[in-house]
Amino acid sequence: MKFLPMSKAEMKSLGWNQLDFILITGDAYIDHPSFGTAIIARVLEKAGFRVGIIAQPDWKNDNDWLELGTPRLGFGISAGNLDSMVNHYTAQRKIRHNDAYSPNDEAGLRPDRATIIYCNKVRQLFKNIPIIIGGIEASMRRIAHYDFWQDKVRNPILADAKADILVYGMGEKPILDIAERLNSGNDIRDIKDIKGTVVFDNPDLSSTFLQKVHETMENPSETLWKKVLLPDADACSDKQTFLKMSQLFHHNFYEKTIYQKVAGRYIRHNVPSEPMDEKELDALYSLPFMRLPHPKYKGKSIPALVQIKDSITSHRGCMGGCNFCTIVYHQGKAIQSRSEKSIVNELETLSKTETFKGTVSDIGGPTANMYGMNCKLGYPASCKRNSCLYPEICKQLDTSHKRIIDLLNKALNIKGINHVFVSSGIRFDLALKDDNYIRHIAAHHTGGLLKLAPEHTEQDVLKAMGKPDIRLYLDFCELFYNESKKAGKKNSVVPYIIVGHPGSTMADAVRLGNWLKERNIRLEQVQEFTPTPMTISTCMYYTGLDFNTGETIYVPKGRDMRLQKALVMWYVPENRALIKEAIRQNTTLRYD
């Protein structure tokens, strides 16, 4: 096995004079299936294409960009595993001084809005070579979207980047289809219909179509028309229009072709690519990944790899549908699981690596306890539920945890593996459907501390988040502690909390603070809500309107955010003055 080339010398060692595709990424090149660029590169390689990688190029000069020459078919561009703005800035818009996806955690190796900057550089140096953009930054900015860092509505990124095609979601199938069409001689401008892509294309503007558009605007969740026209991008700064656009997109993108006018042109948003089945996922994870950083980094530590090097991805997708989460728009809500055999094979390989110390840090996905679960109806595109779990667990969902438990048991029996922990988030409302799973986690798969995400305690805030009632969290904790005691384990549960989410008033934060104080819960970290592009919560943040009802919703900002965080971190002496200030705003509430 070899790394894919990053230099002309490496190309020469493979006997390659020209590459078919060059992939450009804002991350360091780590040949591991947890990194999107590595996956896409290996998929293209498996299909017979010659692929090279330019990782974290210096955008201020030309040298890095010219190193691999001109690709025969095109460039693939990604900002990396994170949106570059999320990577660079905190929820208070302060610059981060580290980057977990860079050698030695070094910040500043990628630009703000990396996808756009990289595309501009390629256009400057390689005039007519096709550009395909993808990754989370492109995926979650594929229509007009609110940008928190500029506090404005920005155009679809395909237009701003001046790329040819945008691949959204988990892009293995679309990128392979694009590659094969280009290889067959198709012009990039003629490729319009691939699922999981956004392209430039003109809609039919006949009177019949425009009438259907009007009907869709009136009833965004009920239209039977197979095409949807969103409000023009330049009109979406208006908050009512932005809400309407977001509703139209949210209710229709799974099964309808969507158009939006931007700067005199139309983008065409095709329906998502089909989820991978078990056989396809198994084949993907059996590709010859080195599971290491490229040798050019000469032993430098890359924190993102350190965090996941001893973990295994068991599945994709999440049916939780939390309003602040991007997964439903990126990976989808259909759970795509690998076979038990595929995962065991990877565990056996991991157990034999030199750096493995006997502990598997995680077996999971976006949510740990969704492995092997399925909708009895097959997750139909016509289903309008954002979440299979909220406001109640869907009756069509198979909630058995048997496959998960069987997998964890087999993992523990592999030679060389002493511990198997579950570090991915556990959806506690789903776990309550199977006491045996909770028993198993408590006895065998918790390293003393289990992290769960109730996110808040107050019903109105949880409703705005799309999260279950706090009583279900408490029910889980009670069962978990009882099972831990029976197993002779001293396990604890630490809650993840979000402050400042739309709908969270200062009175809600006071009640949350009281709840934590009463239980002597001292959180080391509290997440401040950050509006990331395209989510339902971000729509509410920008518009100040409830996504479902259109009614006004309270949105904490600035000082309010700081006060809410102080109430949650009640034990910090420096927060006392802030807590007093918050209480003065809510004199009718007790805060002990």
* Tens digits of residue pLDDT in 320-364: 999 999 998 999 999 999 999 999 999 999 999 988 999 999 999
Structure tokens belonging to residue 322: 């939390």
Q: Checking DSSP bridges between strand 152-154 and strand 145-147, what pairing results, if any?
A: antiparallel
> Are residue 384 and residue 478 in the same domain, yes or no?
no
Could you give the CA distance from residue 193 to residue 506 in angstroms, rounded to a whole number?
A: 48
The average confidence (pLDDT) of the chain is: 94
> Are residue 166 and residue 221 in the same domain, yes or no?
no
pLDDT of res. 1: 65
> Are residue 139 and residue 7 in the same domain, yes or no?
yes
Provide the greatest CA pair distance for the chain: 76
Domain of 234 in residue numbering reads as: 201-269
Could you give the CA distance from residue 140 to residue 132 in angstroms, rounded to a whole number?
A: 15
Displacement of CA 309 from its chain's centroid (Å) = 19
pTM: 0.95
Could you give the CA distance from residue 202 to residue 563 in angstroms, rounded to a whole number?
A: 49
> Are residue 4 and residue 137 in the same domain, yes or no?
yes
The answer to whether 321 touches 536, Cβ cutoff 8 Å, is no
> Are residue 437 and residue 456 in the same domain, yes or no?
no
Could you give the CA distance from residue 416 to residue 413 in angstroms, rounded to a whole number?
A: 9
pLDDT of res. 424: 87
Q: Checking DSSP bridges between strand 419-420 and strand 359-360, what pairing results, if any?
A: parallel
Using DSSP's 3-state secondary structure scheme, residue 582 falls into helix
**At a CB cut-off of 8 Å and minimum separation 6, what does 26 contact?**
56, 78, 79, 80, 84, 87, 101, 109, 110, 114, 118
Question: H or E element: which one contains 213?
Answer: helix 207-218
> Are residue 119 and residue 64 in the same domain, yes or no?
yes
Average pLDDT of span 512-538: 95
Where residue 499 falls among pLDDT bands split at 50, 70, 90? very high
pLDDT of res. 205: 73
pLDDT of res. 183: 98
Q: What is the identity of the amino acid at 198?
A: V
User: 445, 472, 503: which is the final residue of a domain?
Assistant: 445
> Are residue 546 and residue 425 in the same domain, yes or no?
no
User: 260, 283, 302: which is the final residue of a domain?
Assistant: 302
- In degrees and rounded to multiples of 5, residue 23 shows phi and psi of -100, 130
Could you give the CA distance from residue 489 to residue 105 in angstroms, rounded to a whole number?
A: 35
Q: Checking DSSP bridges between strand 145-147 and strand 131-134, what pairing results, if any?
A: unpaired
Q: What is the DSSP letter of 375?
A: B
Could you give the CA distance from residue 499 to residue 513 in angstroms, rounded to a whole number?
A: 11
Could you give the CA distance from residue 368 to residue 385 in angstroms, rounded to a whole number?
A: 21
Structure tokens belonging to residue 8: 């002309």
Q: What is the CATH number of the domain that holds 407?
A: 3.30.750.210
> Are residue 264 and residue 277 in the same domain, yes or no?
no
Where residue 588 falls among pLDDT bands split at 50, 70, 90? low
- In degrees and rounded to multiples of 5, residue 508 shows phi and psi of -65, -40
Could you give the CA distance from residue 4 to residue 7 in angstroms, rounded to a whole number?
A: 9
The number of distinct structural domains making up the chain is 4
> Are residue 97 and residue 128 in the same domain, yes or no?
yes
Average pLDDT of span 94-109: 96
Where residue 456 falls among pLDDT bands split at 50, 70, 90? very high
> Are residue 418 and residue 332 in the same domain, yes or no?
yes
The answer to whether 351 touches 343, Cβ cutoff 8 Å, is no
Where residue 524 falls among pLDDT bands split at 50, 70, 90? confident
Q: What is the CA radius of gyration of the chain?
A: 24
Q: Checking DSSP bridges between strand 197-200 and strand 362-364, what pairing results, if any?
A: unpaired
> Are residue 36 and residue 163 in the same domain, yes or no?
yes
> Are residue 38 and residue 80 in the same domain, yes or no?
yes
Where residue 218 falls among pLDDT bands split at 50, 70, 90? low
Residue-wise pLDDT for 11-46, tens only, equals 999 999 999 999 999 999 999 999 999 999 999 999
